[in-house]
Chain A
Amino acid sequence: MSGLLKNNLYAAAANAKAFLGFMVLFGIFTAAVISQSLQIGYVLIGIIGFSASAAAVAKNEFTSKWGKYKLSLPVKRADIIKSLFLNQVIWLLAGSLLAGIELGLSWLLHGSLFDQPIDILSMFALGISMSFFMGAIFFPLLYAGGQERGEVFLMIALLCAFGIDFAIISMTNELLEPGIPCIVLGAAVLVGCSLLAFGLSYPLTIKIFSRKEY
Chain B
Amino acid sequence: MENILELEQVSKTFPKSGFRLEKVSFALPYGGIMGFVGENGAGKTTTIGCILNTVTKDSGRVKLFGREMLDKDSDMREKIGVVYDGDNFPGYWSAGQLAKVMGGIYRNWDDELFGNYLKQFRLPAKQKIKHYSKGMTMKLAIGVALAHHPQLLILDEATSGLDPVMRDEMLDVFLDFVQQEDHGILLSSHITSDLEKIADYITFIHNGKLLLTASKNDLAYNYGVIRCRESQFLTLDPKDILVYRKRDFQTDVLVADGKKARKKYKDMVIDHVSVDEIMLLLVKGERV
Size of the B side of the interface (Cβ < 8 Å), in residues, is: 34
Contact of A68 among B84, B100, B102, B104 (CB under 8 A): B84
CA distance A3 to B106 in the complex (A): 8
> Which of B72, B80, B104, B154 meets A4, CB within 8 Å?
B104
User: Closest Cβ of chain A: how far from B6's Cβ, in Å?
Assistant: 18
| Contact of A193 with B by CB under 8 A | no
Q: Which residues on A sit within 8 Å (CB–CB) of B74?
A: 73-76
B-chain residues with CB within 8 Å of residue A73 when the two chains form the complex: 74, 77, 105-106
For the complex, would chain B's binding face be called helix, strand, loop or mixed by DSSP majority? loop
CB < 8 Å: which of A3, A10, A14, A65 contacts B86?
Answer: A65
Q: Is the CB of A66 within 8 A of B71?
A: no
A203 to B104, CA, bound (A): 24
State the B residues within 8 Å of A (CB): 49, 52-56, 71-72, 74-78, 80, 82, 84, 86-93, 97, 100-107, 154
The interface residues of chain B lying within 8 Å CB-to-CB of A63 are: 90-91
Does B103 contact A3, Cβ atoms closer than 8 Å?
A: yes
CB distance from B109 to the nearest CB of A (A): 9
User: Hey, which bits of chain A sit against chain B, CB under 8 A?
Assistant: 1-7, 10-11, 14, 60-61, 63-66, 68-69, 71-77, 210-211, 213-214
Say yes or no: A74 contacts B106, CB within 8 Å. yes
Q: Tell whether, in the assembled complex, residue B101 and residue A3 are in contact, meaning their CB atoms are under 8 Å apart.
A: yes
Residue of B nearest to A60 (CB): B90
Q: Say yes or no: A74 contacts B77, CB within 8 Å.
A: yes
A72 to B105, CA, bound (A): 11
Among residues of A, the one whose C-beta sits closest to the C-beta of B81 is A72
Give complex CA distance A74, B75 in Å. 6
A residues within 8 A CB of B104?
1-6
- Please tell me which one of the listed residues A1, A3, A60, A65 contacts residue B87 in the complex, with CB atoms under 8 A apart: A65
Whether the pair A71, B54 counts as a contact (CB closer than 8 A) is yes
Shortest C-beta distance, A195 to chain B (Å), equals 27
A75 / chain B contacts, CB cutoff of 8 Å: 74, 77, 105
Q: In chain B, what residue has the closest Cβ to A15?
A: B92
Q: A65-B84, A69-B84 are in contact. List 7 more A-B contacts (CB 8 A).
A: A5-B104, A6-B104, A10-B92, A64-B88, A66-B90, A74-B78, A76-B72
Across the interface, which residues of A come within 8 angstroms of B77, CB to CB? 72-75
Which label, helix, strand, loop or mixed, suits the secondary structure of the A interface? helix
A213 touches B54 (CB 8 A): yes
Contact of B54 among A6, A60, A61, A68 (CB under 8 A): A68
Q: Which residue of B lies closest to A10 (CB)?
A: B97
| Cβ contact of B100, chosen from A6, A71, A77, cutoff 8 A | A6
| CB-based contact B87/A64 at 8 Å | yes
Report B93 CB to chain A, min CB distance, Å.
Answer: 6
Q: List 8 A-B contacts (CB under 8 A).
A: A1-B104, A6-B101, A6-B104, A66-B88, A72-B54, A74-B75, A74-B106, A76-B74
CB-CB nearest 9 A-B residue pairs = A3-B104, A3-B105, A2-B104, A64-B87, A74-B74, A14-B92, A72-B82, A74-B77, A74-B78
Contact indicator A71/B52 (Cβ below 8 Å): yes
